[in-house]
């Protein structure tokens, strides 16, 4: 039996309740009514509990003024009791500016060490929290990059309870986007996996190959094109194995396995990929303490471990700033 593909950010446990977004008064009434909880975002971090093991979701009644100073979005309703938050509780995202962050600290609700990044902590969070963080960061990153109308250049306002933006002049409405990227675990006839290393990375950091889907291109064609461009490898037997959001800024990573066709000369593109190497399971196991593998929250790490058949430990797991 192959190991299950364990995708840390593909877990979600929330009813997004997207129908409710149409109610223009939804956020205002949730704040007045007071039973919702707030998920705070500051920069690329989310407010965690002091143990770093989960989110700190604060009842809106305790932080009403701070919440209403940030950009708000309705994320949905919880589907089970968890960590003091009852099933059916509405979750409101609050994207704080500097003043809001200072107010939250002054009110004793956060300290420096309480803020989590998804890269570092995603794999350790519960399904509810991992899903909430991926959702929240993708949404705030989209809002931050789309403040002006692409049609007429005028500023736009948040609409649909945080799930669209509407131009103040021409009224054009736009919705959050995902940028699909393919990521591929290529194996050869000996069942070795192909890993690449980028010129800008630290020595001995390796990952599987990935690339963005081009305009007007299928996922399948993107796999074939990117693997040929980055590695000079023609692939066959392309199979989808899983996907997870990667909100940097708002990508969707779509994972595939593929087979290299026969004996092939590896040709790193020299632009993105500097080195390429086939790894056997024995080599990965023997070298894992010297290798810098992708961080535990990434689909790349999950796909390498899926091929290997078990979790791997890597030198990168303890390093600060690990990807
Ligand atoms: Zn406009």
* pLDDT of 323 strictly over 50: no
Q: Are residues 93 and 136 in the same domain?
A: yes
User: pLDDT above 90 covers what percent of the chain?
Assistant: 86
Q: Are residues 236 and 122 in the same domain?
A: no
| Ligand 1 ion: nearby residues, β-carbon < 5 Å | 149, 151-152, 154, 167, 169-170, 172
Which tokens is 162 given? Answer: 């945080």
User: How many domains, in total, are found in the chain?
Assistant: 2
* Residue 319: band (very low, low, confident or very high) from pLDDT cuts 50, 70, 90: low
Residue 139 CA, ligand 1 centroid: distance in Å: 21
Residue 171 CA, ligand 1 centroid: distance in Å: 6
Average pLDDT, the chain: 94
Question: Could you give the CA distance from residue 59 to residue 170 in angstroms, rounded to a whole number?
Answer: 37
- Per-residue model confidence (pLDDT) at position 262: 80
Is residue 171 included in any domain, yes or no? Answer: no
CATH number at residue 311: 3.90.79.10
Q: What is the pLDDT of residues 29-45, one digit of tens each?
A: 999 999 999 999 999 99
Residues forming a β-bridge with 42: 45
Q: Are residues 236 and 138 in the same domain?
A: no
Is residue 161 included in any domain, yes or no? Answer: no
Residues 172-193: what's their mean pLDDT?
97
Residue 145 CA, ligand 1 centroid: distance in Å: 15
Residue whose tokens read 């049609």: 151
- Per-residue model confidence (pLDDT) at position 27: 97
- Per-residue model confidence (pLDDT) at position 264: 79
Which tokens is 229 given? Answer: 């461009």
Parallel/antiparallel/unpaired status of strands 209-212 and 193-198 = unpaired
Residue 144 CA, ligand 1 centroid: distance in Å: 17
Is residue 98 included in any domain, yes or no? Answer: yes
Residue 153 CA, ligand 1 centroid: distance in Å: 6
Q: 111: domain range?
A: 14-145
Q: Are residues 18 and 131 in the same domain?
A: yes
Q: What is the pLDDT of residues 142-153, one digit of tens each?
A: 999 999 999 999
Is residue 38 included in any domain, yes or no? Answer: yes
Residue 162 CA, ligand 1 centroid: distance in Å: 18
Q: What are phi and psi of 108, to 5 degrees?
A: 80, 15
Q: Are residues 100 and 231 in the same domain?
A: no
Q: What is the pLDDT of residues 2-30, one digit of tens each?
A: 667 889 999 989 999 999 999 999 999 99
Q: Are residues 236 and 109 in the same domain?
A: no
């Amino acid at each position: 039996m192959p190991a299950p593909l364990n995708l840390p950010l593909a877990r979600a446990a929330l009813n997004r309740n997207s129908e409710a977004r149409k109610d223009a008064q939804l956020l205002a009434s949730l704040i007045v009514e007071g039973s919702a909880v707030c998920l705070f975002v500051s920069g690329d971090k989310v407010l965690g509990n002091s143990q770093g093991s989960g989110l700190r979701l604060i009842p809106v009644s305790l932080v009403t003024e701070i919440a209403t100073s940030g950009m708000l979005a309705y994320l949905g309703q919880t589907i089970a009791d968890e960590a003091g938050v009852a099933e059916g509780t509405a979750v409101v995202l609050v994207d704080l500016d500097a003043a809001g962050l200072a107010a939250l600290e002054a009110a004793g609700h956060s300290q420096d060490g309480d803020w989590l990044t998804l890269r570092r902590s995603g794999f350790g969070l519960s399904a509810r929290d991992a899903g909430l963080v991926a959702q929240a960061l993708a949404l705030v990153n989209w809002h931050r990059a789309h403040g002006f109308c692409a049609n007429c250049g005028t500023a736009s306002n948040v609409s649909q309870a945080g799930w669209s933006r509407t131009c103040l002049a021409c009224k054009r409405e736009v919705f959050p986007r995902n940028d699909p990227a393919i990521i591929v675990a290529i194996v050869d006839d000996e069942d070795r996996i192909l890993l690449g290393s980028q010129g800008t990375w630290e020595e001995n950091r390796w990952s599987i190959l990935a690339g963005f889907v081009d305009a007007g291109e299928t996922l399948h064609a993107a796999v074939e094109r990117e693997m040929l461009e980055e590695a000079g490898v023609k692939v066959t037997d392309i199979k989808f194995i899983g996907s997870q959001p990667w909100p940097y800024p708002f990508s969707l990573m779509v994972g595939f396995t593929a087979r290299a066709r026969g004996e092939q000369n590896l040709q790193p593109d020299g632009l993105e990929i500097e080195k390429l190497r086939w790894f056997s399971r024995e080599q990965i196991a023997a070298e894992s303490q010297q290798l810098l593998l992708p961080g535990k929250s990434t689909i790349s790490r999950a796909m390498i471990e899926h091929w290997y058949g078990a979790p791997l430990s890597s030198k990168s797991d303890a390093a600060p700033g690990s990807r």
